[in-house]
């Protein structure tokens, strides 16, 4: 298992994050090794705090309305190496080491496996 690297944040830093009307903020997950954008999911404040404390991604499932520890059942955990927020504080970016085959529930390494201009069902761009 990769070494866990918790990130200690201050309340001032967390106050920079703007959660939407549902208390959520989108989080991009990127492979730190080669830069592949793996997926986007949602976090509420609790899942953001847990992610930083536990050093792995924890999201809020909008469909199930519950915390979702990425890889808890699949083993495809994401170990956070860097975490940042954008200039408006309304998008998060996590640079991770991805366990297992990948991030996507389809079995693809990245969720962005369908490229425009290649027809429906084709794959290519975004997976590097």
- Which residues of this chain interact with a copy of itself, rule CB under 8 A? 7-10, 12-13, 16, 26, 28, 30, 34-37, 39-40, 52, 82-88, 91, 93, 95, 104-106, 108, 111-117, 119-120, 124-126
Nearer to a copy of itself, 1 or 88 (CB): 88
Closest approach, Cβ 102 to a copy of itself, in A, equals 11
Closest approach, Cβ 95 to a copy of itself, in A, equals 7
Nearer to a copy of itself, 75 or 116 (CB): 116
Q: What's the first-to-final CA gap in the chain, in angstroms? A: 25
Question: Quick check: 58 and 4 in contact, CB under 8 A?
Answer: no
Exposed / middle / buried, residue 105 (Cβ in 10 Å: 0-12, 13-18, 19+): exposed
Closest approach, Cβ 84 to a copy of itself, in A, equals 4
Instruction: Tell me 64's DSSP state.
Output: T
Instruction: Tell me 117's DSSP state.
Output: T
């Amino acid at each position: 298992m990769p070494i866990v690297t918790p990130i200690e944040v201050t309340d001032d830093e967390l106050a920079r994050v703007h959660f939407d009307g549902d208390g959520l903020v989108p989080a991009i997950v990127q492979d730190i090794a080669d830069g592949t954008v793996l997926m986007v999911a949602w976090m509420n404040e609790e899942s953001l705090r847990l992610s930083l404390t536990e050093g792995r991604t924890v999201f809020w499932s909008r469909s199930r309305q519950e915390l979702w520890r990425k890889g808890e059942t699949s083993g495809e955990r994401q170990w956070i190496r860097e975490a940042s927020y954008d200039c408006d504080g309304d998008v998060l970016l996590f640079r991770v080491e991805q366990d297992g085959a990948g991030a996507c529930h389809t079995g693809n390494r990245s969720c962005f496996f369908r490229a425009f201009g290649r027809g429906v069902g084709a794959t290519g761009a975004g997976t590097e």
